[in-house]
Structure 1
Amino acid sequence: MTTHIILLTLFAAMLHAIWNTLLRGGTDRLWSMTIMCMTIAFTCAVIALFLPLPASASWQFALLSALLHVGYNLCLVRSYQCGDLGQTYPIARGSSPLMVTCAAAIFAGEKIEFNTLGGITLVSAGILILAVKGGELAMPGLQYTLATGAFIAAYSVVDGMGVRVSGNSLSYTVWMSALWGVLMPALYIALRDSKSLLLWRPGLRRAAAGGLVSLLAYGIIIYAMTAAPMGAVSALRETSVLFAAVLGYLFLGETLTLRKMLACTVIAAGTLMIG
């Protein structure tokens, strides 16, 4: 991986931690995520006016990715309803890089170098260390958290394959995100109603801002996957857990325990191996 791809991916990881921090205090995460998606859809619709259409070969990937993103949203909401954020987020993010590496090798024909695979393993292990409490990973709703990680891996590989045949990474990102952004409010209305979706709530601006930040973060990741192996990009992206730990310490009054510092060291070592 080149230096600029590594730096861009780490920047995207920081953005990912920021929007999760913004939304952490939300009481209705399904509504918050839906507002995020509506913001993403509106923004992408405007940007799409100034971009060419992605190649036809990429549309099947864009639609599949949009559906997978909706599944990811639902599993993430459910896991947050069942489990502690401090465990749920690291397990979901930490379980995905190795899944991405294996899936990219199977479906996209990627060959991963030994040092890169070792770095991915270290990053995943470090993130999972952050999730351990009382010496075990057992937690309420663990199945939903692992399903979230599987959805992350699935849409990452699909987007990695789609963007490579799209002819324009920005166009692909915009149209895939627009599809995702339209599907989520439709699902919300089917599960609840349109009235509660359109009501003004105190967290509306925060959710909308989170949508913009998340769009920028994932757009950077999709661009990075055009120039670097999917597994390596995915592993670096999941260092968002490291940024989240720092943000929690600086702004949320959370402590930096020995376990957290050990995890950060392992993540940093893995990042150096990938680079």
Structure 2
Amino acid sequence: MSHRRFRPVSAHVFAIVLCAAALHAGWNALVRVGLDRLLAVTLIQVGAGILALVMLPTVSVPVAAAWPWLLLSAVLHVGYNVFLARAYASGDFGQVYPIARGSAPLIVALVGLMALWDQPSLTGYVGVMLLTGGIWWMAVRGAGSKNLPRAGLTSALVTSAFIASYTLSDGLGARANHDAIGYVFWLFALNGLCMGLLLWAMRGRQTLAAIAGHYRVGLLGGAMSMAAYGATIWAMSQAPIALVAALRESSVLFALAISSLFLGERLSRQRLVVGVIILCGVALLRLG
């Protein structure tokens, strides 16, 4: 089997993935809505599921080749949501978010090279390494002197593994379906249903009533989540999965801006330096 090569990421794909990264950071910030982390994550995913369900009549049923990936991804997204909630419950947002996001692109790039024959250029891989290294530096050194508890670190790393897994699954599923947007609507409808049922099983029906009081936040966060991931999945059908996955992790920069401008967190000089490193990685991805 020969390696499949794509052209460098085009300007419009690049811009769309950056918008997706900003939206992703935004909905993660909404997890701080005031509910406990599992409730907040479920609230947003159920909101996305409701919006996706409304949109299902506008798209076709996924083709047979896409269903194994779709079902696998629905399971992986549930695992991601559960461990993301655990990570946020154990550690600070400023460290958990970059660790969870920063490890995934490297995993995706390595698997994509070894198993999927989806090979970016050397420049693209240097960009992946810079972006991943910068995010990890920010996670370890950029959030002050407070150490991340072992439980938080473990949950963040498991979250990252789920991110890498569903990124690969969805990239392949969207390509198999030949309709990325339709694939995303079905995925979010399934994910919202699964998360709602899981919360019901874990905490009882009354908990669903509790999150209903925050439905506006759920719908807003759900719309942001679905738009962000829909744009990413579409981009994966246009460019190497590894490059799109890494570029999407520039969401850490948007998370920094949100934390500084809206959450009152201090933006240190070290975080700015790491931000420049991340931007260099993003630039190389654009060129590669």
**Fold shared per TM-score above 0.5:** yes
Moved more, 87-96 or 23-32: 23-32
> Identity rate of aligned residues, in percent?
39
1:130 corresponds to: 138
1:145 corresponds to: 156
Moved more, 131-140 or 236-245: 131-140
The count of aligned residue pairs is 275
1:51-130 matched pairs, under 5 angstroms: 51-130=59-138
CA contact (8 A) 1:120 1:274 kept: yes
Q: State how far apart, in whole Å, the 1-side matches of 2:211 and 2:103 are.
A: 36
2:3 corresponds to: none
Aligned-pair distance for 1:23?
2.1
Q: State how far apart, in whole Å, the 1-side matches of 2:21 and 2:252 are.
A: 8
1:232 corresponds to: 243
1:268 aligns with 2:276: no
1:129-163: CA deviation from partner (whole Å, max 9, x where unpaired)? 21114689753321111000010000000000110
1:6-21 matched pairs, under 5 angstroms: 6-21=14-29
Instruction: State the one-letter code of the partner of 2:64.
Output: S
After superposing on structure 2, the runs of 4+ consecutive aligned residues of structure 1 that deviate more than 6 Å are 134-137
1:183 aligns with 2:194: yes
CA contact (8 A) 1:83 1:140 kept: no
Aligned-pair distance for 1:106?
3.0
Alignment root-mean-square deviation, CA:
1.7
TM-score (norm 2): 0.91
Aligned-pair distance for 1:201?
6.2
2:54 corresponds to: 46
Equivalent of 1:209 in 216, 220, 236: 220
1:144-163 matched pairs, under 5 angstroms: 144-163=155-174
Equivalent of 1:250 in 252, 261, 267: 261
Q: State how far apart, in whole Å, the 1-side matches of 2:202 and 2:214 are.
A: 21
1:165 aligns with 2:176: yes
Gaps of 5+ in 1: none
1:84-137: CA deviation from partner (whole Å, max 9, x where unpaired)? 111111100011100111122233221121110000110111111211146897
SS at match of 2:155: helix
SS at match of 2:150: coil
Q: State how far apart, in whole Å, the 2-side matches of 1:154 and 1:14 are.
A: 22
Instruction: State the one-letter code of the partner of 1:144.
Output: S
Aligned-pair distance for 1:202?
5.5
TM-score (norm 1): 0.95
Q: State how far apart, in whole Å, the 1-side matches of 2:213 and 2:138 are.
A: 31
1:174 aligns with 2:185: yes
CA contact (8 A) 2:199 2:207 kept: no
CA contact (8 A) 2:88 2:96 kept: yes
Distance 1:80 1:86, change over 3 A: same
1:33-57: CA deviation from partner (whole Å, max 9, x where unpaired)? 2222222222111111011122110
SS at match of 1:62: helix
Q: State how far apart, in whole Å, the 2-side matches of 1:206 and 1:226 are.
A: 30
Equivalent of 1:259 in 253, 270, 275: 270
SS at match of 1:199: helix
Aligned-pair distance for 1:32?
1.7
Aligned-pair distance for 1:218?
0.3
